Structure 1
Amino acid sequence: MEQEPRSVQQTQSRPGVPRRRKLALISACVITVVWLMVGAAVLGSWLMTQFNKQSIQSTPDGNLVMSRDEADISEVVQRVSKSVVSIVTTKNGRTLSRATVQQGAGTGIIISKDGYILTNKHVVKDADRVEIVSSDGTQYTDVKFVGADPLNDVAFLKINGVNDLPAATLGDSGTVRVGQKVIAIGNSLGRYQNTVTMGIISGKGRPVQASTSERSGEAESLTDLLQTDAAINPGNSGGPLLNMSGQVIGINTAIVSDAQSVGFAIPIGAAKGLVRSVLASGKIQKSYIGVRYIAITPEVRAEYKLSAKSGAYVGGSRDKSAVVAGGPADKAGIKDGDVITKVNDKLIGEQGGLGSLISEFLPGETVELTILRDGKEQKVKLTLGAYKV
């Protein structure tokens, strides 16, 4: 019976050994955790240092990273620049005491592989010698003046003896939108060949009075122009205004000298008929319908009490009809007071002026005109005539 208390005593005395072991174990665990934390911190610091080094070393050159817009612009420029040439003109003169030589510069657009060049009339006017320089620096001196539009600032040259030039693609100026992005390429200031600028279409159907210089007494009335804020400088005349597909939608032709970012281009549609005639026959053939007209604006609409908001008003004077007797319009039945609203399916005003739309066709071709007469719409067929200077 004396064994039970001892057993109890033994039972009560045993917890002393595990407590010491547990404390030792806890201390070891704490030390281990501390060392693990220190190790983790050291390792983390080392890894961060290595990551930062790698990040610095692998940062790409921002100049070599192109956005989608930049890639699109660069691709267009690389593709079309080969079709843009610089034009250098020489004009001989004489003063009372000595002979003089005057040089000018402009830009041109290759429109055929056998050397036809589209440019502005004022670039080559009265030139005694014309030299063309391609984008790769090749100089062409055997250059012929083909002819010019009698009513617009458009002219054509021909490089003789070539058959492998890269021709530009002509677009549709009738579907151009205000606000769309455009690119201009030209021989800026006559010194910086194939200079590239970018902007938007700021307006359509603009009329301007253009002269070659402020001192010049000569001025030319140009109508139905595209307005752009892409920088156009002297020397850019005759160069292309491009859409973002690389198609020529205009021919850069004029700037406002006392304003910023106000430039003008002839819509390419106004030259398409001439382009077709030059490529087919090597000659200038311009179509006409034989009417005098006024583009309808809010002021014109109010003055003549017209119901149409856009179109071409066939308006004569009291003693002279606006319809040329015996001309294409006269034969088609067009009368004074008519409003021409469409050429085929293209709206006059929204998709180009009457003159520009007619200029897309060749003499002898037939178009359908939509007219308003006494408030009623009619359609007439008209066979275009050949304009005679």
Structure 2
Amino acid sequence: MRPMKRTLIPSLAAAAIALAACSNVTAGDAAEPRADFPSPSPSYATGQDAVVEVVQRVLPAVVNVVSERPGGEGEGTGFIVRSDGIVVTNYHVVERATSVTVLTSEEEPREFDARVIGADIQADLAILDIEEEGLPTVPLGSSSDLQLGQPVVAIGYALGLEGGPSVTSGIVSSLTRRITVPDPDCDVCVNGERVYTDVIQTDAAINPGNSGGPLVDVSGAVVGINTAGTTTAENIGFAIQIDAVKPTIFQAADNPDEPVAFMGVGSADASDPQVRFTLSPPLDEGAVIVNVVPGGPAARVGLRVGDVVVLFDGRPIRTAQELGEAIRSHRPGDRVEVVAVRGTGERVELTVTLGVNPVPTG
């Protein structure tokens, strides 16, 4: 099996990345705990015992995700979040797949056909469904509670090696990294590159094949989705913050056949220091458009990279997260008024007809 390889471009200079045309997670804020999803349990172990306990708790819910595509076979990792077969992984793991198979981490793995029931392509998130009940699960934690230096554990099918998942442990090194990752198969990325903002950096090694696996805290709760490692330095990995994608996971699990609104932009907080210095004049609030999907709803009405969205359908927008919430509160086909501030300070008012999130199914 050919591993799904995710490596960083050599330069991670903040200024260079902030100026690049890019995309960002705008999925909404962290949702409240759900009765149909498992809740985190406290852990009283310390040191290496804590890591061992975490692995014992989480490992049964970690799965191998194999995708068949025109160019060959790809492999990544996922994790089960609901006992009736809801699996979370990276979108690039199933990108352009003609079929997806999920294998459990048992000594004699069980194999299931999987269906993509939801995704946020720009956030690199996919939600799968497999036809099975009573599966082991891993609880979703909260990335907003993470602190620098906090221990974390990454689990995944590194390098596509046989013998089950591998485990690495480390600490949270940063919570606000911005990284650029080549993805030539991405239809909504600019120049074949994804840019992730506010990702977790950890020294728990993340290797090809780990993509889509869980990054967990010492209670065994998922705080991030492993997505990239670097070839320019050892023991540096990156994970998407789980709070940014919880609403998408819940929505897909609840309503797998319901279309999701799509505006075709990626955004970042105007207050983000890596973004703010690029604005003239600088703004303390708003969602800066850092990527516009060619031919998408935003592109068709003239929204541009660098525009700062401050109002969406009459709703004040202070952050990229709020823009994501506002988009998700509407349905495809809705016409919404968007107010944005251009680099010259000019305010523009545009009417956007929201499209359908281009999520593959089958």
Answering whether residue 178 of structure 2 is matched by residue 207 of structure 1, we say: yes
User: Match for 2:103: what amino acid?
Assistant: V
Aligned counterpart in structure 1 of residue 229 of structure 2, from 238, 251, 255: 255
Secondary structure of 2:209's aligned partner = coil
Answering whether residue 218 of structure 2 is matched by residue 244 of structure 1, we say: yes
Indicate the structure whose relative CO is greater, using CA pairs within 8 Å and at least 6 residues apart.
2
Answering whether residue 52 of structure 2 is matched by residue 74 of structure 1, we say: yes
Aligned pairs for 1:288-307 (under 5 A) are 294-295=268-269, 296-298=271-273, 300-302=275-277, 304=280, 306=282
- Deviation (angstroms), 1:357: 8.9
Aligned pairs for 1:3-152 (under 5 A) are 68-93=46-71, 102-136=72-106, 137-152=108-123
Unaligned runs of 5+ in 1: 1-66, 94-101, 341-347, 349-353, 366-372, 374-384
- Deviation (angstroms), 1:245: 1.0
Higher CA-based Rg = 1
What CA distance in whole angstroms lies between the structure 1 residues aligned with 2:118 and 2:64? 18
- After superposition, the CA RMSD in angstroms is 3.6
Residues 272 and 360, structure 1, Cα contact 8 Å, conserved in 2? no
Answering whether residue 229 of structure 2 is matched by residue 273 of structure 1, we say: no
- Deviation (angstroms), 1:247: 0.5
- Deviation (angstroms), 1:256: 1.8
Aligned counterpart in structure 2 of residue 363 of structure 1, from 316, 323, 329: 329
**1:274-326: CA deviation from partner (whole Å, max 9, x where unpaired):** 11112211246657799985532446545545484xx545589xx9678xxxx
User: Match for 1:69: what amino acid?
Assistant: G
Count of aligned residue pairs for this structure pair: 271
- Deviation (angstroms), 1:109: 0.8
Change (3 A) 1:294 1:360: closer
Change (3 A) 1:147 1:279: closer
What CA distance in whole angstroms lies between the structure 1 residues aligned with 2:74 and 2:159? 10
Unaligned runs of 5+ in 2: 1-44, 185-190, 291-300, 332-340, 342-352, 358-362
Secondary structure of 1:207's aligned partner = strand
Change (3 A) 1:288 1:206: farther
- Deviation (angstroms), 1:223: 1.9
Normalised TM-score (structure 2): 0.64
Q: Comparing both structures, which one devotes a greater share of its residues to helix?
A: 1
Secondary structure of 2:356's aligned partner = coil
Structure 2 equivalent of residue 154 of structure 1: 125
User: Match for 1:268: what amino acid?
Assistant: I
Residues 288 and 363, structure 1, Cα contact 8 Å, conserved in 2? no
**1:341-376: CA deviation from partner (whole Å, max 9, x where unpaired):** xxxxxxx6xxxxx338946995369xxxxxxx9xxx
Runs of 4+ that moved beyond 6 A: 287-292, 319-322
Identity %: 34
User: Match for 1:127: what amino acid?
Assistant: A
Residues 118 and 248, structure 2, Cα contact 8 Å, conserved in 1? no
